[in-house]
Amino acid sequence: MKSSRISVKNFHADDSFVGRVQKLVREEVIPYQYQVLNDALPGVEKSHAIENIRLAAKKLRVEDIGAEEFYGFIFQDSDVAKWIEAAAYALAAEPNPELEKTVDDVIALYGSSQHENGYVNSYFTIQAPEKKWTNMREAHELYCAGHMMEAAVAYYEVTGKRELLDIMSKNADCIFEEFMHHNTAAYPGHPEVELALMRLWRATGNEKYKALAKHFIDERGQEPNYFWKIEEPNRGWNVWSGSAEQDSDYTQSTLPVREQKDAVGHSVRAAYLYTGMADVARETEDADLLSACRTLWNSITKRRMYVTGGIGSTNQGEAFTVDYDLPNDPVYAETCASIALMFFAKQLLENEHRGEYADVMERAFYNTVLAGMQLDGKRFFYVNPLEVIPGVSGKAVTHRHDLPVRPQWYACACCPPNVARVVSSLGAYAYSENETAFFIDLYAGGTVVTEKGLTLTCRTEFPHYGDVRYTVSGNAETTLAFRIPAWSENTKLTVNGEELALSDITCDGYAYITRAWQDGDNVMLTLDMTARVLYASPKVAADSGKVCVQRGALVYCAEEADNGEILPLFVREDAVPEALGFEPETLGGIVPVEIDGYKAEDNGMLYSARKPKLTEKKLRLIPYYTWANRGENQMRVWLPVK
Question: Looking at the annotation, which residues are catalytic?
Answer: 318, 414
- Give CA angle at 384 (337, 387), nearest 5°: 145
Residue 572's identity, in one-letter code, is: R
Is residue 330 a contact partner of residue 453, using CB atoms and an 8 Å limit? no
Using an 8 Å Cβ cutoff, are 241 and 310 in contact?
no
437-440 vs 476-483, strand pairing mode: parallel
Helices assigned H by DSSP within 519-602: 560-563
* CB 137, CB 231: distance < 8 Å: yes
Rounded Cα distance, 564 and 618, in Å: 11
**Residue 391 backbone class (left: φ over 0; alpha: ψ -120 to 50; beta: rest):** left
CB proximity list for 508: less than 8 A, separation 6 or greater = 352, 353, 354, 355
CA distance 415 to 403: 15
In Å, how far are 328, 491, 597, 598 from 566, measured between CA atoms?
14, 35, 12, 11
Helix (H) or strand (E) holding 621: strand 614-623
23-60 burial code (b ≥16 CB/10 A, e <16): ebbbeebbebbbebbebebeeeeebbbbbbbbbbbbbb
Dihedral angle over CA of 189, 195, 199, 204, nearest 10: 50
User: How would you class 288 by CB atoms within 10 Å of its CB: exposed for 0-12, middle for 13-18, buried for 19 or more?
Assistant: exposed
Angle, helices 163-177 vs 207-219, to 10°: value is: 50
Non-local CB neighbours of 294 within 8 Å, separated by 6+ positions: 348
Element (H, E) at 208: helix 207-219
Q: How far apart are CA 40 and CA 47, in angstroms?
A: 10
CB 301 within 8 A of CB 344: no
Residue type, 576: V
